[in-house]
Amino acid sequence: MILSILKFPNNRLRTKATAVKSVNNTIKTLVKDMFETMYTSDGIGLAATQVNQHLQVIVMDVPDSSEDYKLILENRKTKNSESLTRKHPLCFINPTITRKAENKIHTEGCLSVPGYYAEIERFNHITVEALDENGKLFTLEAHNFLAVCIQHELDHLKGVLFVDYLSKFKQRRLKEKYRKISSV
């Protein structure tokens, strides 16, 4: 089932997600629906917060190369071509970052802030611990874009958006712009 995605500046995006107590069938269905929603929207990551489910659940499928990422973004805009086949579905339940190193600036976007991209500084190398969609604990070491994506999605679970790292002035302008869009 395709779920509807909350859009900035909706206040429900500010809700803090609670930990999943057990990876039961309800959670498994949520994970399945979140993957479907993410792929349909040509996204590379989606947090449960964005679909108004305030549980610590993230799905992700980050492309191998920046060329593949460009194709996904292009498809998001035009919807003319077939979606790129994805290879790395990842699910993180109750994720925590246990190690972080190196700062780097990457360009980020978000399905909750459609059409907006900004340069954000994050850790470029992290270790994350989480449960997978079967409730099994795993540890993942991530670099570059995958590391960025994990930090971006983890922020969603805390009610934080990538635009919160922008200057107050830019945030205000963006809020006005998106308020107008959502009221049309």
Neighbours of 93 (CB within 10 A): 24
Alpha helices in 51-130 (DSSP H): 66-78
Taking the least distance from each CB to Ni ion, the nearer of 36 and 135 is 36
Q: Is 153 a catalytic residue?
A: yes
Q: How far is the CB of 47 from Ni ion (least distance, A)?
A: 7
Residue nearest to Ni ion (CB): 110
Mention every residue, 6+ apart, whose C-beta is less than 8 A from residue 94.
Answer: 19, 20, 56, 130, 131
Cβ(44)–Cβ(63) under 8 Å? yes
Cα separation, 142 vs 160, whole angstroms = 21
Taking the least distance from each CB to Ni ion, the nearer of 27 and 110 is 110
Taking the least distance from each CB to Ni ion, the nearer of 120 and 130 is 120
- Enumerate residues 92-111 that contact Ni ion by CB under 5 A: 110
Taking residues 108 to 147 in sequence order and writing x for each that binds Ni ion by CB under 5 A, - otherwise, the string is: --x-------------------------------------
Cβ(38)–Cβ(4) under 8 Å? no
Query: What are the residue numbers of the active site?
Result: 153
Positions touching Ni ion (CB under 5 A) are 110
